[in-house]
Amino acid sequence: MLEIEIDGKKLTVPSGSTVMDAANSIGVHIPHFCYHKKLSIAANCRMCLVQVEKAPKPLPACATPVTDGMKVFTHSDQAVTAQKGVMEFLLINHPLDCPICDQGGECQLQDLAVGYGQSGSRYQEEKRVVANKDLGPLISTDMTRCIHCSRCVRFTEEIAGYQELGMANRGEFTEVLPFIGKTVNSEISGNVIDLCPVGALTSKPFRYSARTWELSRRKSVSPHDGLGSNLVVQVKNHKVMRVLPLENEAINECWLADRDRFSYEALNSEERITKPMIKQGGVWQEADWQTALEFVANGLKGVIAEHGRESVAAVATPHSTVEELFLLRKLMSGLGVNAVETRLRAADFALKTAGATWLGQSIAELAASDAVVVIGSTLRKEQPLLAQRLRQSVKKGLKLAAINPHGDDLLTAKAAELVVRPDQLVEGVLQVLKAVAEAKGIALPANVDFGSIDIPAEARAVAAVLDGKEKTAILLGNIAQQHPRYGEIYAAATAIAEATGAKLGVLGEAANTVGAQLVGAETGGDVFAKPRQAYFMLNAEAEFDVQNGAQALAAVKQAKLVVALSSFSSCALEHADVILPVSPFSETSGTFVNMEGRAQSFNGVVRPLGETRPAWKVLRVLGNLLGFAGFDYASSEEIRDEALAGDIAPRLSNALAAPVAVKAQSASGLVRLGEVSIYQADIYSRRAPSLQKTADAANATLLKANAATLAKLGLAAGELARVEQAGGTAELQVALDAGLLDDVIRVSANHPLTRALAAHVGAIAVAKA
Amino acid sequence: MLSQESLALIDRELAKYPADQRRSAIMGALRIAQTEKRYLTNELIEFVASYVRIPPVAAYEVATFYNMYDRKPVGKYKLTVCTNLPCALSGGYTTADYLKQKLGIGFGETTADGRFTLAEGECMGACGYAPVMLVNNHSMCNHMTPDAIDKKLAELE
Ligand code: SF4
Ligand code: FES
Ligand code: FES
């Protein structure tokens, strides 16, 4: 510990602290631009100059280490003169176009200029002008405003993992730019908008739509991935105008993924439904709520009377809130219907665990691990900020390994990697299990039939990553959870965890995957395999939210009654008989339980659009209409308190409730690797126009295979290929993916172009179109 | 994009640094690429970056920062005259003016026959031999009085 005195206040700080850290710890503000607590120190803006006793000239607080007995003056004459001098230099080339700048009102340069700037400039010469750059559909540039703090450059390199921006030229000619012809394509790129202390980088979708001081700020929780990022939703005239991060070190730190940040565009989309609708004689008619609700109640009763309770199934996406899912479950049990399912993207429903499957630890604990093995996950696209967090941990020594059906770059060092065919994911995990058992000299688990599995060097390397470390974890991603042999993958991963002492974790696919399990909304299994007479669908689009979309669509089409509770109209809803417009997350209160088992409640940030109603209220009224007891909730909080009564922690468990027989199999022939792409994953991101213009969205339209497979199929990159699976076809442009094994055809799933296809992993035929 | 010889030279640069610090070799690698191709196109910069395994923009930063990297075609002989203070005090501008008049071009320009490019340079650490001039980035010429220039240009004919 070192002693330091700042502006007369004495304090002690750990050695290695900078003057900036020390000042921050006692709430003394030192003006700065380039300094950011999550980025490396660049010390290039010089705004943070302070006076240090015995130093001959002012020193930059952000880059000056504290020495014992140091005396610092942040507001002395010398310090303020230096700070004012720097401000004068910064403003020399700044356009001062604050009246037309989106950053106005939340600009660090504007704020500090009030404190340190002069009322006029001594600079009479010509100011420089810098050409704007095309950074893609999300980030707008006004590069003349740039003060070259390099925060954006450091962000892409250090946090996003790949330097997409650079500082070209020198001196007066310095410019921030991407490489010629490239855009910024990171899945967390929007953070540079927050980082830019001036208006050089601003939000493209938000551009010129409001002044920041007209916006009210309301807290919310991101409805996308399992992380549950905290949001500040900014609202004007009952309309969501933009979304910013709410800092929460335990979850999203100060970041947001682009999906969290830009999906709000969907909330104001043309596709919003604002009135209940009933289909009569094949034609949609607007209806009032009473009529529509009675139609639903009578329809459900009618189907049950005629075909029995087994003929009805309720489905909802795991992006629905705890309250909605709890009431859905309760409504269905009132009707005697048991089938309520949220695992819509699953293919294997047999797995039984002792509690709700979860991360197995907190996000912060995971980040402090010594080694992590990821199984079946395109981590950066599934959980962008978790990937970011692990990237930072790798810098501190974490060893990251993967067992995956692809070799995607995690933009950080992989200590080991085993790439398998998608239909051999179980066998890949078994290879590692066998390697672990051999290395430890322990017996192979009895419930596993290893067949003739031998251990490739890569599997040994993955096993070695877990060896001899204290805190280790094994994570199951979306590809694993949506795999036709998920139970076997899970059991094999459990065996590795037991043998190595690693914690097994499941990366919740959606915002409320854990919450859905806690309220028991997963009793249906594959409710579309055997078509039902009636489907009750909560914010679920058959073709886009169900793994075998084609099959689900067929089941829905033949059903007598399809009730859709939805925020958006969609092609999938054309087959419904009645649509009840329900609120998106921004217009209802609710709770999501994130992957670490943390329940986060939020309020509606704007009032429901048109006649839209929160789904929990709709379900409550339906319960009352059907005459069920226990539907008299006054608020969503009451529902939550009942749904999540008691502690959540004891109800989380990844322990297997029943042993699973695991049997190694062999596979050959062309096989599909289907994944739901990042901006198709939920009802919001699908409808966010800006996200649909990103490189990731374009990437999802491609068919990918390695060079050998393309050659074998007579295909070349850029050509059009026709794929066929279970009678469904799609035409896609071909691209090379060197990270795939032979015979693997990577085609995104639940995508407008591929919705006619069937299971994510399965045989597929490919030919030139 | 580059010859085997150049790639071998780049490999030698890379070998000078630890395996996890390949980006340290970028200056040498760009120099080698420029020696072979005379100047650095964006495609060449991208190629060198991918060879060194760094993002292209990181190589672009380096290529645009140092003025000994040429990103436009240059003549057969690129003559860089130092105009920093010590040289300027010892006739650097006289040298430059003489060259301009003799070649009929200004700084940053190339003669119509493509033989000579004239460039303004920064201190080359040889102020004691001022005024200095650099030929094709590699060969240093001292005390470049008009006479010396005539002699040098004759050699380069
Ligand atoms: S664009 Fe913004 S963040 Fe990037 S260097 Fe310029 S001022 Fe800094
Ligand atoms: S904040 Fe210290 S130099 Fe920029
Ligand atoms: S000033 Fe010309 S070499 Fe130093």
Confidence bin at A120 (pLDDT 50/70/90): confident
* B57/A182 touch (CB, cutoff 8 Å), yes or no: yes
Q: What is the DSSP letter of A398?
A: -
Beta carbons within 8 Å of A661's beta carbon, 6+ residues apart: A447, A449, A488
Counting residues of chain A whose pLDDT is more than 90, the rounded percentage is 97
Beta carbons within 10 angstroms of residue A442's beta carbon: 11
Would you state the pLDDT for residue A553? 93
- Per-residue pLDDT, averaged over A627-640, amounts to 96
DSSP string, chain B: ---HHHHHHHHHHHHTS-GGGGGGGHHHHHHHHHHHHSS--HHHHHHHHHHHTS-HHHHHHHHHHSTTS--S---SEEEEEE-SHHHHHTTHHHHHHHHHHHHT--TTEE-TTS-EEEEEE---S-GGG-S-EEETTTEEE-S--HHHHHHHHHHH-
- Per-residue pLDDT, averaged over A443-451, amounts to 92
Please choose, from the candidates A768, A730, A767, the residue with its C-alpha nearest in 3D space to the C-alpha of residue A751.
A730
Beta carbons within 10 angstroms of residue A169's beta carbon: 13
User: Which value does ipTM take for this structure?
Assistant: 0.91
Comparing A349-358, A544-553, A572-581, B119-128, which segment has the lowest mean pLDDT? A572-581
Per-residue pLDDT at A616 exceeds 80 = yes
Q: Which residues pair with A744 in a beta bridge?
A: A671
Would you state the pLDDT for residue B157? 72
SS3 string, A486-537, reads: HHHHHHHHHHHHHHHCCEEEECCCCCCHHHHHHCCCECCCCCCCCCCCEEEE
Are the CB atoms for A369 and A473 separated by under 8 Å?
yes
| Dist CA B65 CA A425 (whole Å) | 48
Residue to probe by mutation, ligand 1, list A132, A147, A163, most atoms within 8 Å of CB: A147
Which chain B residues touch A if contact means CB-CB below 8 Å?
Answer: 42, 46, 54-58, 60-61, 64-65
Would you state the pLDDT for residue A19? 97
Would you state the pLDDT for residue A722? 97
Would you state the pLDDT for residue A121? 87
> For B57-73, how does the pLDDT look when each residue is reduced to its tens digit (9 = 90+)?
999 999 999 989 999 99
Per-residue pLDDT at A187 exceeds 70 = yes
> For A644-681, how does the pLDDT look when each residue is reduced to its tens digit (9 = 90+)?
999 999 999 999 999 999 999 999 999 999 999 999 99
Q: What is the DSSP letter of A54?
A: T
Residue B91 CB less than 6 A away from ligand 3: no
Q: Which two tokens stand for residue A275?
A: 């009135």
B65 neighbourhood in chain A, CB within 8 Å: 168-170
Please choose, from the candidates B41, B82, B32, the residue with its C-alpha nearest in 3D space to the C-alpha of residue B60.
B41
CB-CB: which of A168, A180, A181 is closest to B61? A168
Single-letter residue type at B92: G
CA-nearest residue for atom 8, ligand 1, is A149
A415 neighbourhood in chain B, CB within 8 Å: none
Residue B1 CB less than 6 A away from ligand 3: no
Q: Which two tokens stand for residue B110?
A: 């190339």
Beta carbons within 8 Å of A676's beta carbon, 6+ residues apart: A345, A478, A748, A749, A750, A751
Q: Which two tokens stand for residue A646?
A: 């008691």
Beta carbons within 8 Å of A731's beta carbon, 6+ residues apart: A720, A721, A722, A723, A753, A769
Distance of residue B45 Cα from the nearest chain A Cα, in angstroms = 10
Would you state the pLDDT for residue A572? 59
Q: Which two tokens stand for residue A273?
A: 């439904």
| Dist CA A148 CA A176 (whole Å) | 7
Positive/negative CA dihedral, A48, A52, A55, A57: positive
Are the CB atoms for A98 and A104 separated by under 8 Å?
yes
Type and span of the H or E element at A91 = helix A77-92
Helices B42-52, B26-37: axis angle to 10 degrees equals 140
- Per-residue pLDDT, averaged over A94-117, amounts to 94
Q: Which two tokens stand for residue A237?
A: 């005239």
Q: Which two tokens stand for residue A307?
A: 């075909």
CB-CB: which of B54, B55, B64 is closest to A164? B55
Are the CB atoms for A505 and A474 separated by under 8 Å?
yes
> For B121-138, how does the pLDDT look when each residue is reduced to its tens digit (9 = 90+)?
989 999 999 999 999 988
Counting residues of chain A whose pLDDT is more than 70, the rounded percentage is 100
| Dist CA A572 CA A459 (whole Å) | 43
- Cα(A89) to ligand 2 centroid in Å equals 14
Per-residue pLDDT at A626 exceeds 80 = yes
Distance between first and last Cα of chain B: 30
Confidence bin at A489 (pLDDT 50/70/90): very high
Residue to probe by mutation, ligand 2, list A39, A40, A48, most atoms within 8 Å of CB: A48
Q: Which two tokens stand for residue A200?
A: 């050089």
Q: Is A651 exposed, middle or buried (0-12, 13-18, 19+ CB in 10 A)?
A: middle
> For A730-761, how does the pLDDT look when each residue is reduced to its tens digit (9 = 90+)?
999 999 999 999 999 999 999 999 999 999 99
Q: What is residue A213's three-state secondary structure?
A: helix
CB pairs under 8 A between A and B: 37
Residue A169, chain B, CB below 8 Å: the answer is yes
- How much is the CA Rg of chain B, to the nearest whole Å? 17
Would you state the pLDDT for residue A769? 87
- Cα(A152) to ligand 1 centroid in Å equals 6
Task: Enter the pTM of the model.
Answer: 0.95
| Dist CA A618 CA A328 (whole Å) | 10
Measure the CA angle with vertex A148, ends A142 and A153; round to 5°: 90
Would you state the pLDDT for residue A569? 87
| Dist CA A640 CA A410 (whole Å) | 37
- Cα(B148) to ligand 3 centroid in Å equals 17
Q: Which two tokens stand for residue B119?
A: 């460039």
Please choose, from the candidates A607, A603, A609, the residue with its C-alpha nearest in 3D space to the C-alpha of residue A589.
A603
- Pick the more confident residue, B156 or A7: A7
